[in-house]
Amino acid sequence: MNAISRLATVISLASLLPVSAFPVSALAADSKGSVEVVHWWTSGGEKAAVDVLKAQVEKDGFTWKDGAVAGGGGATAMTVLKSRAVAGNPPGVAQIKGPDIQEWASTGLLDTDALKDVAKAEKWDSLLDKKVSDTVKFEGNYVAVPVNIHRVNWLWINPEVFKKAGIEKAPTTLQEFYAAGDKLKAAGFIALAHGGQPWQDSTVFEAVVLSVMGVDGYKKALVDLDNAALTGPEMVKSLTELKKVATYMDVDGKGQDWNLEAAKVINGKAGMQIMGDWAKSEWTAAKKVAGKDYECVAFPGTDKAFTYNIDSLAVFKQKDKGTAAAQQDIAKVVLGENFQKVFSINKGSIPVRIDMLSDMDKYGFDSCAQTAAKDFLADAKSGGLQPSMAHNMATTLAVQGAFFDVVTNYINDPKADPATAAKQLGTAVKSAK
Ligand code: GAL
């Protein structure tokens, strides 16, 4: 049974149950309508970003019910969302990404009408790249609004720590990365801040695959799920390098949240972190300045590539007219110019609107965001723009889960063998497809 029919089977039960609406008593007397938004933006920096949306929606006269579910990468939020759907009580809006939007839409629970008018009035088709709009449309209709674009293949550096450890420049190759890691360790620092949660392990894994196998190899293995690429010598080499990268990881990082690990780089305890640019939200919240207090560089060997991760808010069918109005308000606000700017500055991302991406200076974005936008546009032309596997843009959650299991077991098993792990990847992905 494929992933779509698996989700559909579970959720078809939900159609027997009534579609939820907020109890009227939950509404403030003068509220135009109430909407619950399920998301996983709970770190300090992420919260600052989502609060921008909440404030605007409330200003517009609606009641925002915060459905935040802690847990980086969103795995817990997705579990909660599925059980809410099965119970016939989905929220009005939920953060869902990539191919999973199609999977959810095919269950019939997403609303294919709610965003029609706003998308037309706000000219979404001309504001968005087709690749992006296709992701958030189902059978030609918008079922979600894209919020922002994150780049995943970044390396975050504390330059002061580098200086103390005698490292002169940011590493651009894996060999330089290892040399920097050795110096950091020798000087008593944590070389690589890393929380050992599966999604974080796979964030590092995909960066290493991109570095070793290049854009074509990455695409074949992690996007096309080609068995030869998943099990071949280049994957074995990637896994060998991954094991070496893992020797620099924080020994206290097992099960640790990404933002607590980011804090170790910010506070000068660690030298580096491999993380998408939501990590920048923590630096911003700590009032640190890009290019001065910290450096963002592409993960060594990946500067000609951009693994993208687009956050989107999907709309669920609701009976209550006020909730439907609130959904439309959220959608309108999200793709508005001012929100695109303020949210991304807080979140560490770049706008999803193409007109803004080519004029980043105008909006006061910092050097990391300017680099991201420039690379996004260049890599879109060269083919270097690839969806992130670890962040659910390349595959469904089921296939992603197969990668997560093999990669995390491999990193944690002291006796693990890269050739065996590559074979396991092939088998696990095949059965999850
Ligand atoms: C990503 C998500 C980001 C950020 C990150 C950490 O999957 O797209 O917006 O929240 O997880 O939780």
Task: Write out pLDDT tens, residues 252-265.
Answer: 999 999 999 999 99
CA distance 331 to 325: 10
Largest CA distance in the chain: 65
- Please report, for the domain that includes residue 202, its CATH number: 3.40.190.10
Domain membership of residue 206 as a residue range? 154-307+387-432
Are residues 145 and 16 part of one domain? yes
Same domain as 55, residue 109: yes
Q: Is residue 407 in a domain?
A: yes
Token pair 């965003």 is at which residue? 115
3-state secondary structure the chain: CCHHHHHHHHHHHHHHCCCCCCCHHHCCCCCCCEEEEEECCCCHHHHHHHHHHHHHHHHCCCEEEEEECCCHHHHHHHHHHHHHHHCCCCCCEEECCCHHHHHHHCCCCECCCCCHHHHHHCCHHHHCCHHHHHHCEECCEECEEEEEEEECCEEEECHHHHHHCCCCCCCCCHHHHHHHHHHHHHCCCEEEECCCCHHHHHHHHHHHHHHHHHHHHHHHHHHCCCHHHHHCHHHHHHHHHHHHHHCCECCCCCCCCHHHHHHHHHCCCEEEEECCCCHHHHHHHCCCCECCCEEEEECCCCCCCEEEEEEEEEEECCCCHHHHHHHHHHHHHHCCHHHHHHHHHHHCCECCCHHHHCCHHHHCCCHHHHHHHHHHHHHHHHCCEEECCCCCCCCCHHHHHHHHHHHHHHHHCCCCCHHHHHHHHHHHHHHHC
Distance 72 CA to ligand 1 centre (A): 6
Name the residue at shortest CA distance from atom 5 of ligand 1: 73
CB atoms within 10 A of CB 60: 14
pLDDT of residue 30: 81
Q: Is 109 helix (H, G, I), strand (E, B) or coil?
A: coil
Q: From the CA of 396, how far away is ligand 1's center (Å)? A: 16
- How far apart are the CA of 241 and the centre of ligand 1, in A? 25
- Do 364 and 264 share a structural domain? no
Q: In terms of domains, do 290 and 315 share one?
A: no
Q: Ligand 1: which atom is nearest the Cα of residue 390? A: 7
Q: 290 and 180, same structural domain?
A: yes
Residue 41 CA neighbour count, 13 Å, CB half? 29
Using a 10 angstrom Cβ sphere, with 0-12 exposed, 13-18 middle and 19 or more buried, the burial of residue 308 is buried
Measured in degrees and rounded to the nearest 5, phi and psi for residue 274 equal -100, 110
User: Other CB atoms closer than 10 Å to residue 433's CB: what's the count?
Assistant: 13
In the predicted model, residues of the chain with pLDDT beneath 70 are 1-29
What's the pTM? Answer: 0.94
Domain count, the chain: 2
Could you say which of 324, 346, 372 is where a domain stops? 372
268 occurs within a structural domain: yes
Contact 251, 185 (CB under 8 A): no
Q: What's the 400 CA to ligand 1 centre distance in angstroms?
A: 15
Pick from 135, 261, 309, 347 the residue to mutate for probing ligand 1's pocket: most ligand atoms within 8 Å of its CB.
309
Strands in 295-298's sheet, in edge-to-edge order, are 190-193, 270-274, 154-157, 295-298
pLDDT for 12 equals: 55
Site to probe by mutation for ligand 1, drawn from 311, 350, 388, 393 as the one with most ligand atoms within 8 Å of Cβ, is 311
Q: d(Cα 185, Cα 197) in Å, to the nearest integer?
A: 22
Residues with CB under 6 A from ligand 1: 40-41, 46, 72-74, 150, 278, 309, 311, 391
Give the atom of ligand 1 at the shortest distance from the alpha carbon of 311.
8
Task: Flag whether 260 is in a domain.
Answer: yes
Distance from the alpha carbon of residue 232 to the mean position of ligand 1, in angstroms: 30
Of all protein residues, the one whose alpha carbon is nearest to atom 12 of ligand 1 is: 72
The DSSP letter of residue 65 is E
Residues 423 and 354 in one domain: no
Residue 275 lies in a domain: yes
Same domain? 404 vs 270? yes
Residue type for position 58:
E
Pocket test for ligand 1, best of 37, 278, 400 (most atoms within 8 A of CB): 278
Pick from 419, 391, 415, 387: which is nearest to 403 by CA? 391
Q: Is residue 363 part of a domain?
A: yes
Say yes or no: 269 and 190 in one domain. Answer: yes
What is the Cα–Cα distance from 272 to 285, expressed in whole angstroms?
A: 18
